[in-house]
Amino acid sequence: MTFRKFAGLAAIAAVFLSPIAASAKPALLQCVLDNSKSKGWIADQIYVEYDAAANTARVVDGIILHFNKRQPAAGKITENTSKKMVVTWSLNARASRQTTKMAYRAAVLKPANKVLVTAKPHGFADNLTARGRCQPVQGTLPTG
């Protein structure tokens, strides 16, 4: 086989295989948390839709839907190994006529399906935390 024929076959294969790769569906996690120490800033249930190849995520919980006009929050995968995935996102929250930006971080320990979520209001020293478990689920990201 000549190089020209090989290159032609490779180009044809790329055309047929690229829609499959491009249409890969993001994975979805449902995380259930014990938020008793979070002072109401971490929800008891969080959904994380993520695309590991693109290092992107979308996050939904009751707090996000309340403050973000019923839209998911855009997130970023900041770490993704065989043992742990870390997703971060932020949210502008208004409470008692004061607006603050909350920075969230969810660290999912893959083998055990455990999660640690932290919330930090910008400008304050407090870190709020909640622990729980995540499991993969089928379907789409809930939006209300």
pTM of the model: 0.79
**Domain spans of the chain?**
25-136
Amino acid at 115: V
| Separation in Å, CA 112 to CA 4, 37, 63, 135 | 50, 22, 26, 10
Beta strands (DSSP E) in 26-111 are 27-34, 45-51, 56-60, 73-80, 84-95, 98-109
| Least confident piece of the model among 19-33, 50-64, 130-144 | 19-33
Percent of the chain whose pLDDT exceeds 70: 81
3-class DSSP state of 64? helix
Domain 25-136, CATH number (from 2.60.120, 2.40.160, 1.10.287, 1.20.120): 2.40.160
Q: Model confidence over 50-98: pLDDT tens digits?
A: 999 999 999 999 999 988 888 999 999 999 999 999 999 999 987 667 7
